[in-house]
Structure 1
Amino acid sequence: MTAPLIVDRLTKRYGSLTALQDMSFTVAPGEIFGFVGSNGAGKSTTMRIILGVLGADSGQVRLGERPIDLDLRRRIGYMPEERGLYPKMKVGKQLSFLAQLHGLSRAEADDQVETWVRRLGIHERINDDVNNLSLGNQQRVQLAAALVHNPDVLVLDEPFSGLDPVAVDVMSDVLKEKAAQGVPVIFSSHQLELVQRLCDRVGIITKGTMRALGTVDDLRSTGEIRLDVGAPAAPSGWADHLPGVQGSVQRGALTTVSLTPGTDEQAILAAALATGPVTHFALSKPDLTELFREVVSA
């Protein structure tokens, strides 16, 4: 089953506090969608409504044209931010139990457990109690619990939290692998460099409202216009008083110049050449971390 995950105008209030206001986005089959925002912005609330853990005051979540009901929820792989594992239950038995809750037979569940504990590098801990594992290995078990029933949708809340770089690479490969199989993947993370590297599209949420939505390249193109100019002989502040320059930051031989729309870039180049040789001259886009700060502060 391959269908888009559609979040359609979700609103959720707690008394006078509006946690979500008309939250809408779509995650296409085979797409990795990054959901980012400050703590308390509404990311986890949205994910819990998708799973049916919380009810929305208005709006709807659908898989394709079908509203998500109990049967469809069994086809979703969910990884909560707070670990939802039984601490005194052995890893293998726990994963098999969870797979059977999602409708797999005992034999199917055990086969899937074997596959995922090996894939995620925790096979040697399969007979250990969860509370005897490191936090990173508990996170791997939590991901296995989201994957063990071969879900049609993946919803992961802070899946990279507490992982070492090797485990981050393993988990990244798993998400790309599931997306390549046509699974819609949504995950939240504060590790914006990772979001920028992995995601096809990104949604930035602040105070329960979607403030920016699009591909990483599109979002980065909406920021201020900047030029990176390599001018080794240029004095400090050489560009600050040029027409259209909003400011500049100089790091050694490289100066990043912020421009107002419509500024003549060739005039900036001519001014740089007047100071000596120019070794680099190119448009510079803000990374996702800078863009996030701009959106949140706005």
Structure 2
Amino acid sequence: MLKITRLNKAYSNHRALTDVDLVVPQGMIFGLLGPNGAGKTTLIRIINQIIEQDSGTVEIDGKSLSPDDIRKIGYLPEERGLYKKMTVWDQLIYFSRLKGLDQSEAKGKVKIWLEKLEIGGWKEKKIEDLSKGMAQKVQFISTVIHEPKLLILDEPFSGFDPVNAEIIKNEILELKAKGTTVILSTHRMESVELLCDHVAMIHKSRKILDGTIREVKNSFRPQEFSISLINLLQDLPQDWKVRHDEDRAFNFSLPLNGRSPNQLLKELMEYGEVMEFKEKVPSMEEIFIHQVKATQYE
């Protein structure tokens, strides 16, 4: 869907993007990760043709990005932008017409979306009279009303309570199921774990991570297992750093150190009854923190 090749952008003496390559597959949810100031917003603005790159190329559907591609894209910025004195209905009709829908089509789609997001009763209210969560729903509708092929969401769950965050999450998944390609930029790693098929991470203007969720997690696996034993048959080695809990279980972690999981399990069975034997797989949040710390002094 989207291919970015050797993208560079600098502001005076500050480099925002350095030789960034990205391929966003069709119909996937692609997580764009990175700490504040990493270059994510600059990349998103280039895709949306708000600013131009210094060098490099951006292609959509195999063709160089052009002004006509704007209608293929839906963009929900982190800093929301609605007209506070307009009513919900007028606002959404206005944005629909801007994105190419005729009057009749715009009215039909706005009505459907207001009902889907359970805010039909608020259509005559001004934006300034809405709660933050309600206004966020209006902003989301304005982003997807024209059924974009590429949807770019920057912190889409900001301002939502858990119930409404779940509604928006389900809408994103439904859009994906219909073939929409989604770029999700967020600091909420639990959202990345739940939604994303593929992730890339930018730090200090450079891409430092790229792959499917499975590939990324596998590359950071520590080859270590969490273990819980009961009914000991013999004393455990002192260097295993065992914790003894209230349920009489002995809990600790051990690396494979060249052994297979089966070999380690067999060894443990000689010490007692194995209640837990689980590989320690890092979360995306742990990987995010590790990568930022690993490159902060480069």
TM-score by length of 2: 0.89
CA–CA distance in 1 between the matches of 2:209 and 2:141?
31
Q: Is the partner of 1:60 in helix, strand or coil?
A: strand
Residue 72 (structure 2) pairs with residue 95 (structure 1): no
1:229 to 223, 227, 230: 227
How large is the RMSD of aligned CA atoms in angstroms?
Answer: 2.2
Query: Number of paired residues?
Result: 287
CA–CA distance in 2 between the matches of 1:251 and 1:152?
55
Contact 2:46 2:52 in 1 (8 A): yes
CA–CA distance in 1 between the matches of 2:279 and 2:199?
22
What's the counterpart of residue 10 of structure 1?
7
Letter in 1 for 2:93: S
What's the counterpart of residue 280 of structure 2?
284
Superposition map of 1:84-233 within 5 A: 84-223=81-220, 224-232=222-230
Contact 1:29 1:179 in 2 (8 A): no
1:35 to 4, 21, 32: 32
Q: 1:70 to 1:239 in 2, by over 3 A?
A: farther
Q: 1:272 to 1:160 in 2, by over 3 A?
A: same
CA–CA distance in 2 between the matches of 1:258 and 1:133?
54
What's the counterpart of residue 43 of structure 2?
46
Q: Is the partner of 1:279 in helix, strand or coil?
A: strand
Q: Which runs of 5 or more structure 1 residues have no equivalent in the other structure?
A: 243-247
Letter in 1 for 2:188: Q
- Offset of residue 7 of structure 1: 2.2
CA–CA distance in 1 between the matches of 2:38 and 2:108?
39
- Offset of residue 269 of structure 1: 3.5
- Offset of residue 281 of structure 1: 1.6
- Offset of residue 240 of structure 1: 7.5
Letter in 2 for 1:138: A
CA–CA distance in 1 between the matches of 2:213 and 2:207?
15
- Offset of residue 239 of structure 1: 6.7
- Offset of residue 113 of structure 1: 0.9
Q: Percent identity?
A: 36
Contact 1:249 1:257 in 2 (8 A): no
- Offset of residue 276 of structure 1: 2.3
CA–CA distance in 2 between the matches of 1:258 and 1:222?
16
CA–CA distance in 2 between the matches of 1:271 and 1:125?
65
TM-score by length of 1: 0.89
Q: Is the partner of 1:231 in helix, strand or coil?
A: strand
CA–CA distance in 2 between the matches of 1:160 and 1:233?
47
What's the counterpart of residue 245 of structure 1?
none
Letter in 2 for 1:297: K
Q: 1:266 to 1:148 in 2, by over 3 A?
A: closer
What's the counterpart of residue 289 of structure 2?
293
Q: Is the partner of 2:192 in helix, strand or coil?
A: helix
Q: 1:210 to 1:239 in 2, by over 3 A?
A: farther
Range with bigger deviation, 267-276 or 82-91: 267-276
CA–CA distance in 2 between the matches of 1:265 and 1:31?
33
Contact 2:256 2:264 in 1 (8 A): no
Q: Which runs of 5 or more structure 2 residues have no equivalent in the other structure?
A: none
What's the counterpart of residue 22 of structure 1?
19
Describe the superposition over 1:245-286 as per-residue Cα deviations: whole angstroms up to 9, x where unpaired: xxx7858444333455x3454564355445422112232211
- Offset of residue 195 of structure 1: 0.8
Letter in 2 for 1:21: T
Q: Is the partner of 1:194 in helix, strand or coil?
A: helix
CA–CA distance in 2 between the matches of 1:251 and 1:293?
30
Letter in 1 for 2:273: P
Letter in 2 for 1:85: L
